[in-house]
Structure 1
Amino acid sequence: MKQPDEIRKELTDAFDDKDLKVNGALLSASPHFGDYVRMGYYLSCGPRGTISGEPVMRNALIALDADMTSRIDKYYSRESRAVKHFGQQQTAYATKTAQPDKDRDFSKLLTGSLEEFERNHGFVVVGERLPNYAGFVFGNVFKESLALKQHWKDVGAGPAHGEYSHRLQWYILIRAGAIKTVPVNQEATVFASIAPWQKGKTNLWTFIFDQLAKDASIGGDTLDFRSPENLNLWLVGDASPDFCPVLRAFLRSRMAKRQSTYDMEKYLAKKLRKSEEEIAGIMEYMRDETIAKRNPSARIAYPKNAKPEFVPYVKT
C-alpha cells in the first residue's frame, strides 16, 4: 500500500522529470494535482482504506450494492433472489449449459446504478449507451473518451480485468470523497483533465487507474486497486463472500460469461448485427490498418437514434 508521498514522488518522477507539460505547465503545477495524488493513494489503499476512521472505500461499494438491490422491482427477498439468479447464470456459463429464463427484475442493475450516478457527477452518455471496447484500444481513443467525460464498457480487456472495473474505480473515488479540486457533482472535470497527460508510454491514466498487477509500483500487493485486475478479482473472490452480495454475484456471472464465450468477431457480429462475411471484412480492414501502423481501435459506438457503428478512429 503506497502512502501519499510515495504516489506524489512517482508522479513527479514520471512526468516532471521528463519535462512533460500541458499548456506550458508541469503535472505538479496542475490545479488537479492534489486529486491525482489522492486518487492514487485511495486506490492503493483498496479495501483497507480509512479516512477519519471510516472505511470509505468499502462503504462506497456497499452503497452501490444497496442501490443495485433497490432497483429490483419485487421487494420480497430481492437480495437473495438476485444472488441466486446470477449464481445460476454463472454456473450455466461455466458449464456451457442453457441459461436460466430471463427475468427483467435483474436486468441492468449495475448499468442503471452506474449511469444514474455518473450523470449526476458530470459524465456524459452519447447516444443510447456507452461505447464498447471490443478489443485493443489505442491511446487516441482513450484521450477522446476522457476529454468527452465519457466512460466505456471494456469488454475486450479480458475477464480478469473486468469490463466495469474503471467505472467502479471512479464510483468508489467519488463516493469516498477523493476528488476535492472541483465542486461536488462536477468530478467528471477531473476525469477529462487526465486526457492531455499522455506521451508515448508515459500516461497519467495508466499510472493511477490501469496498472498491471505485476507492475513494479504495485509490488505484488493484491489489494492495490490501481490495478483494475486486483479490484475485479477481489470483488469476485472468495475472501469476503458476504460483502456486497448482489454486486459480487453479478460480477462473478459476468466474468464466467467472458471466460466461456467471448470472441471478438462473434461479439462484433452480435452487437453490429452484421453477417460473418461483413465481420470478416472488418477484421481484414483492422489487420491492414494495424500493419500500416494507423492504430485502429476495436470500438463500437452507439449514436443517438442510430444503429451501432464500428468506429476504429476518433472523429476529427
Structure 2
Amino acid sequence: MTPNEAYAALNLLHSVMQIPRRCTAHHEKLQPFHKSFIDYVSDASRSDFFANMDHEAQNLKTECAFRILQKAPDGVDCGDISYEFRYGTVACGPGTGDDISLTWPIEDEEAGWGIDKVTRLTMYKLAFGVVAERFSAGDPTFQSEFCVRLLTRRFFEHTSFSHFLLHEPVFDNSRRREFMKHGILKKMPLEAVDIPTISRLVALQFRHLPSTMAHKTVGVSTILNSLKLSFHRLERTNLPDPWKSSCNHIRAGVWGAGMDQDWKTDFEMDGLLRCTFCYERFERQLRNWKTHSPQYTAVVLFTFTGNCCVEFRFIDPNDGISEWTYWFWCYLEWEERKKYGSIV
C-alpha cells in the first residue's frame, strides 16, 4: 500500500484515530483515541469487518514475512548495523536486500542516506522472527523445508531460546522421514560428539516399551533383547524408576507404579533446571556408548553456527525394555560437519 492509498483509507477516521503526519509516520504510531473503537472493529457481529480478526492479522503477517524472505534468499548485508534480535543474531548478507520492496519511502534528513537499508534489515529481522515464533508454536504453515533451512542456515549465532524451538518440530516422527529425505537431518557416529562442547541444557524422553516393541527398536539386536527378556523375566513394576526424589525439574507425560512410562523432561548442569543426578547419568550413558559402540548412529541437525542438535536414542542394555532418547546441542567444526554430509 502506497502512502497515498494509506492516507486515503484513513481520511474519514480522524475523529476516532490519532493519525500521524506523513513526514513523521515512521516515528509515531497509528492508534485509536479510545479502545472501544478497536473493540467495535474486532467484533464481526457489530462492524461486519472480519469474521476472525486475529486470524486475518496472522495470515497477513505470514504473507508479508514469506514475501520479504523470498526477496532476500541470501540474507541482507547492511554494513555495520546490529543483526541481533530475540532468537539470536542473523548472518550478514551477501545479498543486498534491495529487492525488498519499500512502497513507503522515508524522507528524513536527520536519518541520513542509510535509512532505507535500516528499514529493509528491520523488515528482514521481523520476518525472520515471525518464522521462528510460528515454527516454535507448531504452526504447520511454518513446519516446512524452507523454514527449517532458513532457521539452520541464516543464523550467525543462536540464543539458548532458539536452540529448543528447533529440536521438537524437526525430530518429530511425523516429519522425520521427510527431513531425512531432504538432507535436513543426517546420521553420524557417536564418536563424532565432542562431549566438552555439549551445551548445558538437555532434553530427555524416557519410555518403558512393551516387549513386542523392544524387539523392533534400533540399536540393540533382537537376539540380545530376547535373551535379556527371557533371562530376567522383567515386569514393568520391577523396573527401577529413573526419576529420583532429588529431581526438581518438571516432567510431563505418563508414569506411575504398574503403568507404562512415557514422559519428557529438560534439565541442565546448572541454572534453573539444575539436576546433577540426571546430567551426570546422561554423560555417563553417552561416554559408555561412545567407548563401547563408537559407530553407533545418532541423528543430527546441522546448523551454520556449528552448534548441532543431536538425537541420541537407545534401548537400555541392562533391561532390554527402557528406551532413552536425549536431545542435546554440541559444537562441530566445519570440516567435521562436511564429513557427515552437512552443507552448512
What range describes the TM-score normalised by the shorter chain of this pair? Answer: under 0.3
Q: Whose RCO is larger (CA < 8 A, sep 6+)?
A: 1
**TM-score (norm. length: structure 2):** 0.22
Greater gyration radius: 2
**TM-score (norm. length: structure 1):** 0.24
Indicate the structure with greater helix content. 1
